[in-house]
Amino acid sequence: PDVIIEAQFDDNDAEHGQDHLQDKLTDDIKKLSLDTGEKGETKQDDGPKVNDPRLLPDEFLQRTAKVVYILEKKHSRAATGFIKLLADRNSELFKRCAMFSPVDHRVPRVYVPLADCPPDFVTKPEAYSQMLFTCRIVDWKEDSNFASGQLCKSLGQAGEIEPESEGILTEYGVDFSDFSPEVLQCLPQDLPWVISPGELAKRRDLR
């Protein structure tokens, strides 16, 4: 490889002239020159030369794999975010879809139908700039940069505790609906209820 040397030109060099500077650079290049062997290539031991990878030790192998089937989709495909109009107002897509931008940047942006948006969203999009919505991804075509989804519901203003909490629970698939009467019947009916001494004796108190 080419070696570039940054020379320092001082008063001493000026006194001896340009020839002295050239000789000094030549000596420096000789000091930095490397024994590259024949044809200018460095000799380096890259490890054992084996044509058949099956004969290599395990530490020289990089294991690879490929996904062949998705058994279960763990993500809920739901996300919390904001809706806005598409940038290109002259496109056909502008008349049919809006853009959903998730708060979680690991989730892709989603095209949602305008029919799912509030009725006055197209005329007053600024009124919904800080409104949180939940969206569920339903498809993502191979030739599209954005996924397709359905707008589920409006949660409320961003920054408030209840909308933010409901959005997080929805994203992670947590069922936060009210308990059914059957479940409530499993609770003690004689109130006030207290823990019996026998239960306290055989349990570890984590209260």
67: in domain: no
Q: What is the CATH number of the domain that holds 176?
A: 2.40.50.700
Name 154's bridge partners: 133
Residue 107 lies in a domain: yes
**CA-based Rg of the chain, rounded to a whole angstrom?**
35
Does residue 119 fall inside a structural domain? yes
Has residue 160 been placed in a domain?
yes
- How many domains does the chain fold into? 1
Q: Which domain holds residue 166?
A: 78-181
Residue at 7 is within a domain? no
pLDDT, tens only, 113-151: 999 999 999 999 999 999 999 999 999 988 889 999 999
Q: In this structure, is residue 31 part of a structural domain?
A: no
In a domain, 15, yes or no: no
Residues 92-112: pLDDT tens digits? 889 899 999 999 988 999 999
Q: Give how far Cα 54 sits from Cα of 50, 51, 60, Å.
A: 9, 9, 10
In a domain, 154, yes or no: yes
Residue 36's pLDDT is 46
Nearest-CA neighbor of 124 among 177, 85, 66, 176? 85
